[in-house]
Structure formats: C-alpha cells, structure tokens
C-alpha cells in the first residue's frame, strides 16, 4: 500500500513538473538578450542594418552621426567607423560582389564602397534624398526611394539602378512628398510602395515602372513599413498614426492581390522597421518606446500578438538573422542623452 502511495505521489509530482515546464515554455519571452555593445558619443538616430555573411560582419547606418558602423558578426565587437557620408540609410551587400552600396540622402549622393576596406570607390548620381531601398537579386537591380519633403520636393521617386555600374535604368515619380519603405515580390514583378503622405499603398510593375493601382490604408495613417508574405498573399503594413493623425502604432494586414484590409493589431508607436520570417510565420516590430511587438501570422486572416518584449528606449530599427537565430536592434539616442547601443537577441 505504501509503495502504491509513493508511486502515485511520484506520478503527481512528475505531472506537475511537466505542466510547469509547459507553462514556462509557453510564457518564456521569444527573444533573449545575449549581447550589448555601447557606442559612447553618438547622438540622433540610427537607420538600417545589413549583414555580410561572407566577411562575418554586421553593418549599421548611423544616419544622424553620418557614419557607417562595422561590427563582428559573431562576437558583436565594434570593429570600425567609416566616415564621409551626409546621411546614410540603407546598405546593399551582395554575395560575391567586391563593392557595397550605401544610400545617402545628403548632397554627396549614394556611395559605392570597397566591400573589404570600405574605401570610397564612387558615387551614384540620383535625385537627392536617397533613403529606403530594396534589391532584386534575380535581375541584379537595386530600387531606391529618392526625393520627398526632406529635400524640399513635393514629389518622390523610385529609381532603379545597376549596382555594379551605378547606371540609372528607369524610374517612377509619385505625387507624394513622403515615400517610405518598399517591398518586392520574389515570384512576380510588383513593387509595393508606402505613399506615406496620403496613407496609400502603391503597386508598381517594376519591369515597366508603371503604377498599376493605389490602395488606401483606411484603418490608420502614415504607413511607413511593409513586409510581404507571398505564399499567403498578405502585406503587413506598419502605420504610425490613427485616423486623426495622432501617434498610434498599427499593423494593417492587407490582401496583396486586392488591397482588401483583412485585420489590424496595435503596434509600437515609434517604429521604424518591420522584420518578417515567413518560414515560421513571425513578424517583429521594434518600437522606440522600448519594446518589440511579436506577432504570429500563421492564420492569414487573423494576426495574433505573441509577445511584447522589453528592449531599450530608441530601439526602433533592427535586422533578423535567421541563419544565426538572432535579432539585432539598434537603440538610437535620438534627442536624449541616452547611450547608443546595439542589442543582440537570441530567438527562443
């Protein structure tokens, strides 16, 4: 009888431990901070990252500091500061290429750098205001957003270039003075373009650079970031304001074929990046208030909030490194006296 009671007790204990483990697994934060690099003396905002797997480096555009920052990809150690920019934004690193491109909204134009030494090799003469960009590896064409209100223009463009030569191939102009992030189809020829001034999404044929349609983004305003899931025909559009124009973060889920709004969820207000891993249906939106919102997109008709992970004030841009199972964020000091940081998180 005592043996039976003891066995029963062990079974109950074992079940309790298993249940606790399951609960912990379900409630554990999906991102774990595993590395912090501080950058004393930096002010203003950082913009985008790029990864150079071939050379084991991580590159960060320090927009307001007017530099390119180089880090060791494995250790996170800060290796080098590259100067000579006006306001760097997006970085193109191509496997096997001997050069990298850095879009620069300053008057010194977009830069071509040596991929090993970061020495300046040339510049690409485009419309001023080069900012967001997207690369089509199949055709070796780089699409760059230029113009807009930051350079005193009432219109903005997307200019297509050959990244090997810097030659401008074609372009399109929008009657919108604030064009933000763009997304390219990989199995089609469309570009999805955030027309932020008018809170619309433009769809462009990138072979002809002709606009196909414009879709309103009715649940919110100031649509700035976009991620595309081609397999599920979904656009995840991150907006920065509500319908009255007041700051209010929102993720708007749209059908990428029709523009129909499928769902919405709250998002960080001060966001400047969206990272999407379609292989596991995870969407990451880092916010400057000091947290990153993570969403499950496995049901294309219902966006589900997975977690809100505390990060750092100003951590509103980042990069997803699926081959390393990591997310890296740049914490911008902005207009404060906060310390600039690069934060590395392991995906749990």
Across residues 297-309, what is the average pLDDT? 97
Cα 129 to Cα 109: distance, rounded to the nearest angstrom: 8
Which residue, 295, 298, 336, 293, is CA-closest to 311? Answer: 293
User: Can you give the C-alpha Rg of the chain in angstroms?
Assistant: 22
**Residue 84 above 50 pLDDT?**
yes
| Angle, vertex CA 104, rays to CA 148 and CA 252, nearest 5 | 55
pLDDT of residue 27: 52
Question: Tens digit of pLDDT for each residue in 267-288?
Answer: 998 899 999 999 999 999 999 9
| Per-residue pLDDT tens digits for 114-169 | 999 999 999 999 999 999 999 999 999 999 999 999 999 999 999 999 999 999 99
pTM: 0.91
Beta bridge partners of 219: none
Q: Where are the domains of the chain?
A: 228-246+271-348
Mean pLDDT check: name the lowest of 10-19, 60-69, 226-235, 288-297: 10-19
Stretch 67-72: mean pLDDT: 98
Min mean pLDDT across 24-28, 170-174, 334-338 is at 24-28
Return the ∠ at Cα 225 (arms to 221 and 228), rounded to 5°.
115
330: which residues sit within 8 A by CB, 6+ positions away?
Answer: 46, 49, 60, 315, 317, 318, 340, 341, 342, 343
Q: Is a pLDDT exceeding 90 seen at residue 15? A: no
Q: Average pLDDT, whole number, for the chain?
A: 92
Q: What is the pLDDT of residue 335?
A: 76
What integer is the mean pLDDT of 301-308?
97
Percent of the chain with pLDDT over 90: 87
Confidence at residue 19, expressed as pLDDT on a 0 to 100 scale? 39
On the question of pLDDT at 24 being above 70, the answer is no
């Amino acid at each position: 009888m005592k043996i039976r009671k003891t066995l029963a007790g062990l079974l109950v204990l074992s079940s309790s431990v298993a249940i606790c483990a399951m609960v912990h697994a379900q409630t554990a934060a999906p991102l774990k901070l595993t590395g912090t690099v501080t950058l004393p003396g930096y002010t203003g905002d950082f913009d985008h990252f790029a990864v150079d797997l071939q050379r084991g480096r991580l590159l960060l555009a320090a927009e307001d500091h007017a530099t390119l920052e180089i880090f060791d990809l494995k250790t996170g150690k800060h290796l080098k500061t590259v100067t000579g920019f006006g306001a760097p934004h997006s970085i193109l690193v191509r496997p096997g290429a001997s050069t990298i491109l850095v879009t620069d909204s300053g008057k010194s134009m977009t830069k071509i750098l040596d991929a090993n030494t970061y020495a300046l090799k040339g510049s690409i003469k485009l419309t001023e205001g080069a900012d967001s960009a997207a690369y089509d590896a199949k055709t070796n064409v780089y699409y760059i957003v230029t113009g807009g209100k930051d350079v005193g223009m009432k219109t903005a463009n997307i200019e297509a270039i050959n990244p090997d030569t810097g030659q401008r191939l074609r372009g399109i102009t929008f009657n919108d003075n604030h064009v933000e992030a763009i997304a390219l189809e990989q199995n089609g020829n469309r570009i999805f373009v955030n027309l932020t001034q008018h809170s619309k999404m433009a769809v462009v044929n990138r072979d002809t650079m002709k606009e196909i349609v414009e879709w309103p983004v009715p649940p919110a305003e100031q649509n700035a970031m976009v991620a595309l899931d081609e397999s599920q025909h979904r656009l995840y559009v991150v907006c920065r304001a509500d319908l009255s124009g007041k700051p209010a973060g929102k993720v708007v889920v749209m059908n990428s074929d029709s523009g129909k709004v499928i769902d919405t969820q709250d998002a960080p207000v001060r966001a400047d990046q969206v990272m999407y891993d379609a292989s596991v249906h995870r969407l990451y939106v880092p916010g400057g208030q000091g947290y990153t919102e993570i969403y499950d997109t496995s049901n294309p008709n219902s966006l589900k909030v997975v977690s809100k992970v505390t990060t750092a004030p100003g951590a509103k841009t980042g990069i997803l490194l699926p081959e390393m199972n990591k997310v890296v964020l740049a914490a911008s000091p902005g207009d404060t006296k906060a310390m600039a940081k690069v934060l590395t998180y392991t995906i749990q």
